[in-house]
């Protein structure tokens, strides 16, 4: 069957808060947008799982205070310009996109003002929330706005395979002599038809989330495999801070593929971490105790587990003064399903891979080093998070940079900065690399087991040069074998995901090896 070939003003790969904000910003300027989601609906990613909230502006708060908190949490590895921009322009983007356009029903006080909460690392209460299902509420509002917009065409069950670039993919020799490369869209696998679609776009936006699922324990959605970083690297775009992976200190310790998140807001409201003997241990590790930045809390928990030989620690919610069923209904009901009454029973928790602080390097408008390619959200590296993300700044960054990128693309389209049509026409449709039908689910499962165990044990919360060197060699061999297998086998979503995840793991390990300075999420222990 012939493959579909589509031409659009903008292609947004990923439909979480950043991708949705970007698509809405472009579409509001009268431009056509194709929005891709890997799942059956556009809320397939991490945003819907977010519990805590999104940074806004608290009483007696200032941009300077927020800057200070972000820089401290990020170990001053941050881009000060990016942090300053976020602190100053972030609240306005939240109001425009989430409050006014998506009409997210954030919690309010009896007097009508927003009920702002506080999380670890924040000096004041400045976080908007919808109980403990903030991400779900945000995605519900964004989904409604996207579906009602005539200029946004959402395509589901689509997995981006590779970015289309002018120098790599053109069939015309004249275009290969160009001095500069540019992104012209992407090859996209349609899970429903089994075809690879050629989507040509004047501008392409990567917004497909992080890479948490390359680790054994993760709070991330199944689609978060580092695909944006893999495709960008293959296309020649610059990456930055790839080694910085934030592990959330408190994920529910229970048998499941995705660790259920226990929001940091619980500790912000007063919950205590206890070891197996019922002792509160965090004050021994940091003067901020349970409200210390996430990297410190995660390492403290791991140290405590190593010291006691236990499998988990416990979160005691009894010090929280609020009604737990009302303030944290999602967590309350999830624990109730498992036989835990969090009013009386402590919650067993362990750290899990949660957020990628690095990724595809971009400027304040989301522009990458490859012309016509933008990156927003968790897959990008804006410099805001530095070596460790401050709680609830990710949704804020996604909204702001999504809006910034959308506005930038709309301006460039208004100025007629379209891709050359003859160049677009010179790009061929996808050609299958091979016809050897040798895809084996058992082998794919084994390869994923190797990737996730290797990353967890050798490139996880605590790293050493020896562990990283072993991981690099293991991932190098696996990537070489997968590349050869990939050339001989018809494409499928399972193979695309495996290739992207393996490639992302290899890049991360190499980046961690190159950074010999122990800082933030990249905690390098001497051998």
Q: Give the C-alpha separation, 122 to 119, whole Å.
A: 6
pLDDT at 238: 98
Integer Cα distance of 402 and 509 in angstroms? 28
Tens digit of each residue's pLDDT, the chain (527 residues): 345 899 999 999 999 999 999 999 999 999 999 999 999 999 989 999 888 899 999 989 999 999 999 999 999 999 999 999 999 999 999 999 999 999 999 999 999 999 999 887 899 999 999 988 999 999 999 999 999 999 999 999 999 999 999 999 999 999 999 989 999 999 999 999 999 999 999 999 999 999 999 998 899 999 999 999 999 999 999 999 999 999 989 999 886 656 888 988 899 899 999 999 999 999 999 999 998 888 889 989 988 988 888 889 999 999 999 999 999 999 999 999 999 999 999 999 999 999 999 999 999 999 999 999 999 999 999 999 999 999 899 999 999 999 999 999 999 999 999 999 999 999 999 987 767 666 788 889 999 999 999 999 899 999 999 999 999 999 999 999 998 887 788 889 999 999 999 999 999 999 999 999 999 999 998 86
Residue 122: Cβ-neighbour burial (10 angstroms; 0-12, 13-18, 19+)? buried
User: What DSSP line would sit under 335-371, residue for residue?
Assistant: HHHTT--TTTSPEEEEEEEEEE--EEE--TT-B-SSB
pTM above 0.85, yes or no: yes
Task: Examine the residue annotation and report whether 294 is marked as an active-site residue of this protein.
Answer: yes
How many other C-beta atoms lie within 10 A of the C-beta of residue 257?
8
Q: In this structure, what token pair is assigned to residue 122? A: 């924040």
Burial class (CB in 10 A: 0-12, 13-18, 19+), 525: exposed
Coil, helix or strand at residue 483: helix
C-alpha 328/C-alpha 260 separation (Å) is 14
Structure confidence at residue 483 (pLDDT): 87
**CA distances, 149 to each of 87, 126, 137, 459, 498 (Å):** 29, 31, 19, 43, 34
Contact 359, 239 (CB under 8 A): yes
Question: Strand runs (DSSP E) across 50-126, as ranges?
Answer: 54-55
The alpha carbons of the chain give a radius of gyration, in whole angstroms, of: 22
Angle between helices 465-488 and 493-514 (to 10 degrees): 150
CB atoms under 10 Å from CB of 108, counted, come to: 11
Amino acid 102: pLDDT: 95
Catalytic residue among 126, 158, 267, 294: 294
* Terminal C-alpha separation, the chain: 56
**DSSP 8-class letter at 388:** S
Given a contact cutoff of 8 angstroms between Cβ atoms, the answer to whether 326 and 132 are in contact is no
Tokens 């007696």, residue?
60
d(CA 26, CA 118): 33
pLDDT in tens, 187-220: 999 999 999 999 999 999 999 999 999 998 899 9
List pLDDT tens digits, range 153-165.
Answer: 999 999 999 999 9
- Contacts of residue 445, Cβ cutoff 8 Å, sequence gap at least 6: none
Identify the CA nearest to 340 among candidates 279, 278, 248, 262: 262
* Tokens coding 20: 């949705």
For residue 52, CA distances in Å to 178, 187, 265 come to 48, 35, 6
């Amino acid at each position: 069957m012939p493959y579909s070939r589509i031409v659009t003003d903008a292609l947004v790969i990923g439909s979480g808060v950043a991708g949705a904000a970007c698509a809405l910003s472009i579409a509001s300027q009268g431009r056509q947008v194709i929005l891709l989601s890997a799942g059956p609906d556009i809320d397939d990613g991490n945003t819907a799982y977010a519990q805590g909230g999104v940074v806004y502006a608290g009483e007696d708060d200032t941009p300077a205070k927020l800057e200070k908190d972000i820089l401290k949490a990020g170990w001053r590895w941050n881009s000060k310009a990016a942090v300053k921009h976020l602190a100053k322009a972030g609240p306005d983007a939240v109001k425009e996109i989430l409050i006014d356009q998506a009409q997210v029903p954030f919690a309010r006080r009896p007097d009508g003002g927003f009920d702002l909460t506080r999380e670890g690392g924040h000096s004041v209460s400045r976080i908007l929330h919808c109980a403990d299902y903030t991400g779900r509420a945000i995605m519900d509002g964004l989904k409604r706005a996207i579906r009602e917009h005539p200029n946004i065409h959402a395509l589901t069950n689509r997995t981006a395979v590779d970015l289309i670039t002018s120098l790599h993919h053109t069939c015309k020799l004249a275009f290969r002599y160009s001095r500069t490369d540019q992104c012209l869209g992407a090859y996209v696998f349609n899970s429903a038809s089994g075809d690879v679609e050629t989507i040509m776009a004047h501008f392409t936006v990567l917004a497909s989330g992080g890479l948490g699922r390359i680790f054994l324990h993760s709070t991330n959605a199944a689609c978060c495999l580092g695909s944006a970083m893999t495709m960008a690297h293959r296309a020649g775009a610059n990456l930055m801070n790839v080694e910085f992976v934030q592990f959330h200190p408190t994920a529910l310790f229970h048998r499941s593929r995705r660790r259920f998140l226990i929001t940091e807001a619980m500790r912000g409201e007063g919950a205590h971490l206890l070891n197996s003997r019922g002792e509160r241990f965090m004050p021994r590790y940091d003067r901020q105790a349970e409200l210390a930045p996430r990297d410190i809390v995660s390492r403290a928990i791991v140290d405590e587990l190593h010291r006691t030989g236990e499998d988990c620690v416990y979160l005691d919610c009894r010090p929280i003064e609020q009604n737990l069923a009302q303030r944290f209904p999602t967590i309350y009901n999830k624990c109730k399903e498992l036989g835990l009454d969090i009013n009386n029973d402590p919650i067993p928790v362990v750290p899990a891979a949660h957020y990628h602080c690095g990724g595809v390097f971009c400027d304040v408008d989301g522009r990458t080093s490859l012309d016509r390619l933008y990156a927003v959200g968790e897959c990008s590296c804006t410099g805001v998070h530095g070596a460790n993300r401050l709680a609830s700044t990710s949704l804020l960054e996604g909204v702001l940079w999504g809006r910034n990128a959308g506005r930038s693309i709309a301006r460039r389209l208004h100025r007629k900065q379209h891709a050359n049509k003859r160049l677009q026409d010179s790009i061929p449709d996808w050609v299958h690399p091979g016809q050897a039908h040798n895809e084996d689910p058992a082998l794919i499962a084994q390869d994923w087991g190797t990737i996730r165990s290797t990353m967890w044990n050798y490139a996880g919360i605590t790293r050493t040069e020896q562990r990283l060197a072993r991981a690099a060699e293991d991932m190098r061999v696996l990537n070489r074998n997968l590349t050869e297998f990939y050339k001989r086998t018809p494409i499928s979503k399972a193979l695309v995901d495996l290739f992207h995840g393996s490639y992302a793991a290899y890049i991360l390990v190499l980046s961690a090896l190159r950074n010999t300075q122990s800082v933030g999420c990249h905690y390098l222990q001497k051998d």
